[in-house]
Structure 1
Amino acid sequence: MVQTDLDARLTAIIAPVVAAMGLDLVRVMLSGQPGSLTLQVMAEDPATGQLTIDQCARLSRALDQPLDEADPIAGEYALEVSSPGIDRPLTRAKDWQDWAGHEVRLKLEPKVDGRARLHGEIMGLDGEDALVKMKGSTLEGDSVLRLPLSHISGAKLVLTDRLIATTKPLDPTGADEIIESSPDGAAVNDNEISTED
């Protein structure tokens, strides 16, 4: 979960805006190729762990001016403001405590014990290590791996009945993200609302 210099600069611009709205920042990620870049801002309401479509829209509007003034990204890009969703990414140390007992798939870089990918149950956090019980293991001791957070390049909850039961739907429309695109347009799907710059 290492940020690039640009990711860190973007986070420094975005985090205060998110905090001022009483929300928690989950992830800032710039992806794509020049000419088709997407800046994803994922946030949550600490009371619910999600965002409604109205909260996404307000946050998107609040980010317009700070991003325009700082102009940290060369060229055009689409701004995507979204809720983490049910099968959310785990990006913060506290996520490993908050989601203990749920299944996770993760990528490791560098490898840990020769493993680059894991599927297991989150057992919590111990200092700077995530504790993960390997999927299918019945042993409590040796089957729990200590994974340095600095080695976890990506982690996402697995959609299970238990996870679905834990998460309450917030928006009956099913839309939980806003995508702002430049005038030449960007593709959207049924769960996205596009607004033009």
Structure 2
Amino acid sequence: MSKVIDIVEELVTPITEDLNLELVDIEYVKEGKNWFLRIYIDKETGVDIEECGLVSERLSEQLDAKDPIPYNYFLEVSSPGAERPLKKPKDFERAVGKRVHVKTYEAIDGEKAFEGTLLSYDEESLTVEYMVKTRKKQVEIPMEKVAKARLAVSFS
């Protein structure tokens, strides 16, 4: 699957760059009997349906020409939404001061999931402030222990 994602990234990156869009993420997953190729794009002011359609159209042409995917699949191009994944260093840098949800590969302080404010980030670790009952707590999470991270919707 990572080979497919690498090939798709090579194909879609020039398209998103040409349109001044950011490639946020690529997923190639099987759900039930169907395969899905999901491309998540964004820009400072958000993306609209026309931009998603344009990327989808251009990428479809590239995929048809190269034919790198052995199965039938559904192509979906969309915004990452409010719960945007955090994968690249710039994603984490932009998220400092925002609510995040982080899952770890192994327990830290007895927990494998943390939701709170991202206080700091560097290439080695990130620090999240979260609530335990009625008091605030901070945890430093080494980057090699981060399994998944995303922005979290805040209900305040």
> TM > 0.5 between the two?
yes
User: Is contact 1:93-1:149 (8 Å) kept?
Assistant: no
Is 1:117 aligned to residue 98 of structure 2?
no
1:15 paired residue number:
13
Structure 2 CA distance for partners of 1:9 and 1:148, relative to 1, 3 Å: farther
Taking the aligned partners of 1:10 and 1:150, their CA distance within structure 2 comes to 25
1:154 alignment partner, one of 133, 148, 152:
148
Structure 2 CA distance for partners of 1:16 and 1:121, relative to 1, 3 Å: same
For 1:26-45, list aligned pairs within 5 A: 26-33=24-31, 35-45=33-43
CA RMSD of aligned residues (A): 2.4
Is 1:144 aligned to residue 138 of structure 2?
yes
Question: Aligned with 1:58: secondary structure?
Answer: helix
Question: Aligned with 2:89: secondary structure?
Answer: coil
1:65 paired residue number:
61
Point out the more displaced range, 4-13 or 71-80.
4-13
1:105 paired residue number:
101
Taking the aligned partners of 1:4 and 1:114, their CA distance within structure 2 comes to 32
Question: Aligned with 1:60: secondary structure?
Answer: helix
User: Is contact 1:121-1:135 (8 Å) kept?
Assistant: no
User: Is contact 1:17-1:62 (8 Å) kept?
Assistant: yes
Question: Aligned with 1:89: secondary structure?
Answer: coil
Count of aligned pairs? 155
Identity %: 26
Q: For structure 1, which runs of at least 5 residues remain unmatched after alignment?
A: 163-197
Structure 2 CA distance for partners of 1:54 and 1:156, relative to 1, 3 Å: same
User: Is contact 2:89-2:123 (8 Å) kept?
Assistant: no
User: Is contact 2:123-2:143 (8 Å) kept?
Assistant: no
Following superposition, the deviation at residue 77 of structure 1 comes to 0.4
Give TM-score, length-normalised by structure 2: 0.84
Structure 2 CA distance for partners of 1:110 and 1:5, relative to 1, 3 Å: farther
- RCO higher in 1 or 2 (8 Å CA, sep ≥ 6)? 1
**Structure with the bigger percentage of strand:** 2
Question: Aligned with 1:135: secondary structure?
Answer: strand
Taking the aligned partners of 1:16 and 1:111, their CA distance within structure 2 comes to 39
